[in-house]
Structure 1
Amino acid sequence: MRTQVAIIGAGPAGLLLSHLLAGEGVDSVVLEARSRSYIEQRVRAGVLEHPTVQLLREAGLADRLDREGMPHAGITLRFGEPGERRDHHIDFHDLVGRGITVYGQQEVVKDLVAARIADGAEIGAQLWFEVSEIAISGIESDAPVVAFTDAEGRRHELTCAAVAGCDGYHGICRPLVAPRTIERTYPFAWLGILAKAAPTHHELVYSHHPNGFALYSMRSPEITRLYLQVPPDTDPASWSDARIWDELGTRLAAEGFHLNEGPVLEKGVTAMRSMVAEPMRRGRLFLAGDAAHIVPPTGAKGMNLAVADVAVLAGALRDLLRGDHRAADAYTRTCLSRVWRAEHFSWWMTSMLHIFDDATEFDRRLQQAQLAYTVSSRAAATSLAENYTGFPHGAVL
């Protein structure tokens, strides 16, 4: 088997890269360890930055997004002493002239798979699901080989000109490129639920509360997505539905706010950590998405960073295959400038909004001062809005 680019991983990064490469006339094969049904149902991020939405529209991938996505013009920060908790709206449109769109990652994946198939990419030819025993060799040459076993147990060898590692932190690609990573683990996690309950607030609410952080979000006009700060070793089964709703009601409480309750469709705990792999390229193997970086979800950057990576990588691979190495040689530098900006923003949002068990009175007063400044200073609010809604793809920040 031969192709121009072998893509390991069929998440948003791998599938979007395959689509963008096809638009440049570059052939690719996508290899995914999970089944198609699994990747299309896996609930992950749900906030799309403005540049992400723009790119999906330009690539002809936003028909359903434009019909079903939920545009938001801002977010709300909720904080204050008991009895004095107030909402502070950060108006993105007013501050930076752009907004965000709430549209689940699994919906993006469904759209990308459907688009690849509609464009003629066949399952078992350009899209392979449930593959195993992937091995990559020859990445320092101009003809790497990817060996794998298909779902029926047959062994294949795929020769290509470049490999894109979009297989996440636990995949095989990251250790081949960057055995050293820069990491930080936070002393808490998020307990998240998906509930069949209509949203009662039109935008995301980030709530700072003495019991811990809470996030009010949504996925559709019928489904809400909610999170509670919990200890990192929390077993989701230890939290009954009644306990979750009670704690959400406490942490999200504010004058005039009503929380709809409903059947909990999904429950899980998300670790809070940061990771950056440097470099993002070795020879003809390039990392993108979670294989190269992880951010805590507070800043809503995970999927958007993956999209930004492949927006750069698609052009770099196109040029590389034509003999121009400049964009490929600059790939790590270009992407990491955005990655570290997102890491800082995500750390800042996390540090400002969460409760730290070892915080001193001095730490708590600093946190309160930061929250007050962010909502009272137009310059500070503009910085939040600029980072949250996203920077142009390819910009070196």
Structure 2
Amino acid sequence: MRTQVAIIGAGPAGLLLSHLLHLNGIDSIVLESRSQAEIEATIRAGVLEQGTMDILKNAGVGARMQAEGALHHGIELAFDGRRHRIDLSELTGKAITVYPQHEVIKDLVAARQAAQGQLLFEVSEVELHGIDTVTPTVGFTHQGAATRIEADFVIGCDGYHGVTRPAMPLQGRQDYQRTYGFGWFGILVESAPSSNELIYAQHQRGFALVSTRTPTVQRLYFQCDPADHVDNWSDDRIWGELHARLENNDGWRVNEGRIFQKNIIGMRSFVSTPMQSGRLFLAGDAAHIVPPTGAKGMNLAVSDVHLLAQGLEQFYHQGQEDRLHGYTAAALKRIWRAEYFSWWMTSLLHNFTDASLFQREMQRAELECVVSSRAMATALAENYVGAF
């Protein structure tokens, strides 16, 4: 098989890159280890920044997002028994849309299939060869047959546990990582939304978050021990914890319903540099991970592949490689800003077991400053909507 760009991974990053390349007349093949049904059923967060919304709309894959996504003009911070609204639109002129990641994937798969793009699902034994040459190859097994792709470029969009990041040369590589001592216990609930906007709560029992997936599905989280197990949490115990952390004396209550999914996710920050070597480029979780507090994960992946699409367009249509050569530097400016914001939000809202009484009071004072100072609220809002 021959293509111009071989893309490993059919998450939002890989699928969007393939579609952006198609719009510019550049061929690609996308390889994915899971089935189409699996990637379209994996429910994950979906807070889309203004820039991500614009990229999807401009690429012709934003119609359903605009029709079905929930446009949010603000968020709420809850602490000390009170809720405080941060008006994103008033402070920045921009907003965010809550539209689950698996719905973005469905839209992108549909677009690629409508354009007769090559998406190969359920591939295995993926191997990269010759990434330091101008003719890299990707070997893999599909439908029981060993196959090879010859390409000009290989793009790794296959996540932290994929095959592309380990294929990067060790010499000159630097990994940055922080692992937090807590996780998030997440549930999906069949119920009407508890709130029109996301609620981020800091409580003496730990952090909690209220989000919405659809008009009939809520996504709720609370801080937990990452070594805990979902089997230790009955539905009654979960609701008791959420009521305690989220509610105060104003009469507002979390809507309960049937819990149909429970999971625990770890919290960590990770960046691997450089994000390119020879003809291999990394994007999304293959190169960086943020804690979910800042809602940056999918937005960073979209930003990465938008840069790559511009670089590949310049290469094929203008015969220049400036943007490709500068990809890591350009991407890292946005990545480290997002890493900082995600770290800051995480530090602002979570309980740390090793925090002194002084540090806890500093955390409370900082929350008060954020909700009482227009300058600090604007800084939060600008980072949240991605206005940089």
Q: Look up the match of 2:310.
A: 315
1:147 aligned partner, one-letter code: G
CA contact (8 A) 2:154 2:281 kept: yes
Q: How many pairs were matched up? A: 383
TM-score by length of 1: 0.95
Mapping for residues 48-197 of structure 1, pairs under 5 Å: 48-80=48-80, 85-121=81-117, 126-150=118-142, 152-177=143-168, 179=170, 180-197=174-191
Residue among 283, 287, 296 paired with 1:301: 296
Match of 2:234 among 240, 245, 251: 240
Match of 2:31 in 1: 31
Structure 2 residue matching 1:303: 3-state secondary structure? helix
Moved over 4 A (4+): none
* Residue 258 of structure 2, aligned match among 259, 263, 276: 263
* Aligned residue identity for 1:306: A
What is the identity, as a one-letter code, of the residue corresponding to 2:316?
L
Once the two structures are TM-superposed, the CA of residue 330 in structure 1 deviates from its matched residue by 0.4
* Alpha-carbon RMSD: 0.9
2:11 and 2:21 mapped to 1: Cα distance? 15
Aligned pairs (5 A) from 1:377-396: 377-391=373-387
Shift in Å, 1:200: 2.3
| Residue 201 of structure 1: aligned partner | 195
| Structure-1 separation of matches of 2:232 and 2:312 | 48
Q: Is the 8 A contact 1:178 1:278 kept in 2?
A: no
CA contact (8 A) 2:92 2:387 kept: no
Letter in 1 for 2:258: P
Aligned to 1:2: 2
Q: Return the offset for 1:178.
A: 6.0
Contact kept in structure 2, 1:77 and 1:206, CA below 8 Å: yes
Sort the Cα spacing of 1:341 and 1:224 in 2 relative to 1 into closer, same or farther, 3 A.
same
Unpaired segments of 5 or more residues in structure 2? none
| Mapped contact 2:194–2:210 kept (Cα < 8 A) | no
Summarize deviations over 1:324-370 as a string: whole Å, max 9, x none: 11000100000000000000000000000000111100110110111
2:345 is aligned with 1:349? yes
Q: CA shift at 1:258, angstroms?
A: 1.6
Query: How many angstroms does 1:320 deviate by?
Result: 2.3
Structure 1's unaligned 5+ residue stretches are 393-397
Give the secondary-structure state (helix, strand or coil) at the position aligned to 1:112: helix
> Where does residue 367 of structure 2 map in the other structure?
371
**Contact 2:126 2:139 (8 Å CA) reproduced:** yes
CA distance in structure 2 between the aligned counterparts of 1:238 and 1:106, rounded to whole angstroms:
28
Render the CA deviation track for 1:160-184: whole Å, top value 9, x for unaligned.
0001000000111112226441100
Match of 1:17 in 2: 17
Cα distance, 1:391 vs. partner?
Answer: 3.2
Q: Report deviation, 1:288.
A: 0.2
Q: 3-state DSSP class of the match of 1:202?
A: coil
Contact kept, 8 Å, 1:178 with 1:277, in 2: the verdict is no
CA distance in 2, matches of 1:131, 1:280: 24
- Once the two structures are superposed, residues 81-111 of structure 1 have per-residue CA deviations (whole angstroms, 9 ceiling, x without a partner) of xxxx111100011100011000000000000
Distance (Å, rounded) in 2 between the aligned partners of 1:172 and 1:259: 42
Provide the rounded CA distance (Å) in 2 between the counterparts of 1:210 and 1:264: 25
Offset at residue 256 of structure 1 (A): 2.9
- Equivalent-residue separation in structure 2 for 1:201 and 1:333 (angstroms): 39
Cα distance in 2 between the residues matched to 1:54 and 1:265: 33
CA contact (8 A) 1:132 1:149 kept: yes
AA of the residue aligned to 1:327 = R
Give the corresponding residue for 1:327.
323
- Secondary structure, counterpart of 2:274 in structure 1: coil
Once the two structures are TM-superposed, the CA of residue 242 in structure 1 deviates from its matched residue by 1.2
Cα distance, 1:318 vs structure 2 = 1.9
